[in-house]
């Protein structure tokens, strides 16, 4: 029983370190994103570049009848992808020359898809994600270059590798993607690993919300709020260890 307890203790410590390693980068990304959304001018800037002039900002939620492309973030991606539509998503970076050159054309793609839905397929939605800021989502989609395009239809994800033209992208999201094979489930952003990444980010966001609540509603300092989190984690880990140890001891006595 003592050896089992030591194993559980080591396992709990390992899981705690793994959680910190996984959640901390996501938590930092969430906080940066929230500060950016809460800015007075609503303009995203990086290294002095006003990217709103290149990529006009749109609502982060799906619109009933959008015209231009819809800007998505890591926090709003999955809630929109679950709306039953087919999504064409561009990953771009403000410093990418190819992205800047194609920006107006991509808005033309959005206007065509949103204004002229195909009667043979699901409603199309055209979105874009700033991969330079939404690095958690860029990692989930395994982005290695900009711009990158994907079509998401339910749980199936298709990577677009055709020519970068308005008509080609419109045809692809309006049914052309069905001629390609979807990404393998083990590497798909909507597969088990991808959904685990999304869940971890969701947990990170909830932790940050609770952290803010402890500070704003209860007047705790950041240090004290962090100590509360650490204490809760230790208590939960000990409770889990004790529960497992008791269950194992009961089983041994029965045998």
pLDDT number for residue 56: 38
* Residue from 73, 79, 57, 59 nearest 132 by CA: 73
Phi, psi (degrees; rounded to nearest 5) at 150: -140, 150
Burial 13-26 (b: 16+ CB within 10 A, else e): eeeeeeeeebbebb
Q: d(Cα 253, Cα 85) in Å, to the nearest integer?
A: 56
Query: Which is more confident, 193 or 107?
Result: 107
Q: Please determine, for residue 140, whether its predicted confidence score (pLDDT) is greater than 70.
A: yes
* Mean pLDDT computed over every residue of the chain: 75
pLDDT digits (tens, 9 = 90+) for 57-73: 333 344 455 678 999 99
Q: d(Cα 111, Cα 162) in Å, to the nearest integer?
A: 20
pLDDT number for residue 11: 57
- State the DSSP code for 54: T
Burial 61-89 (b: 16+ CB within 10 A, else e): ebeeebebbbbbbbbbbbebbeeebbbbb
pLDDT number for residue 103: 95
Q: d(Cα 161, Cα 149) in Å, to the nearest integer?
A: 8
pLDDT digits (tens, 9 = 90+) for 221-255: 777 777 776 777 677 767 777 776 676 665 555 55
Q: Please determine, for residue 109, whether its predicted confidence score (pLDDT) is greater than 90.
A: yes
Phi, psi (degrees; rounded to nearest 5) at 205: -65, -40
pTM of full prediction above 0.75 = no
212: number of Cβ within 10 Å: 13
Q: Please determine, for residue 36, whether its predicted confidence score (pLDDT) is greater than 60.
A: no
pLDDT number for residue 33: 45
113 with 174: CB under 8 angstroms?
yes
Instruction: Tell me what the mean pLDDT of segment 1-19 comes to.
Output: 53
Cα–Cα distances in angstroms (integers) from residue 10 to residues 19, 22, 23, 121, 178, in the given order:
14, 18, 20, 52, 48
């Amino acid at each position: 029983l003592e050896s089992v307890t030591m194993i559980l203790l080591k396992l709990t410590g390992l899981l705690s370190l793994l959680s910190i390693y996984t959640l901390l980068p996501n938590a930092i990304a969430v906080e940066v994103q929230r500060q950016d959304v809460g800015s007075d001018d609503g303009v995203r800037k990086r290294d002095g570049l006003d990217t709103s002039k290149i990529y006009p900002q749109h609502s982060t939620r799906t619109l009933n009848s959008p015209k231009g492309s819809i800007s998505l973030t890591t926090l709003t991606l999955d809630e929109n992808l679950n709306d039953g539509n087919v999504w064409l998503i561009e990953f771009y970076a403000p410093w990418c020359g190819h992205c800047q050159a194609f920006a107006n054309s991509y808005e033309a793609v959005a206007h065509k898809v949103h204004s002229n839905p195909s009667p043979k397929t699901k409603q199309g939605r055209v979105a874009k994600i700033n991969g330079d800021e939404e690095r958690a989502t860029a990692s989930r989609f395994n982005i290695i270059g900009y711009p990158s395009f994907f079509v998401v239809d339910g749980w199936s994800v298709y990577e677009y590798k055709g020519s970068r033209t308005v008509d080609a992208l419109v045809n692809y999201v309006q049914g052309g993607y069905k001629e390609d094979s979807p990404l393998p489930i083990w590497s798909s952003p909507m597969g088990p690993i991808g959904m685990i990444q999304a869940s971890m980010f969701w947990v990170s966001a909830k932790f940050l919300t609770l952290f803010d609540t402890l500070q704003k509603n209860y007047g705790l300092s950041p240090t004290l709020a962090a100590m509360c989190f650490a204490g809760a984690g230790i208590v939960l880990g000990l409770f889990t260890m004790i529960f497992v140890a008791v269950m194992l001891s009961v089983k041994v006595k029965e045998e």
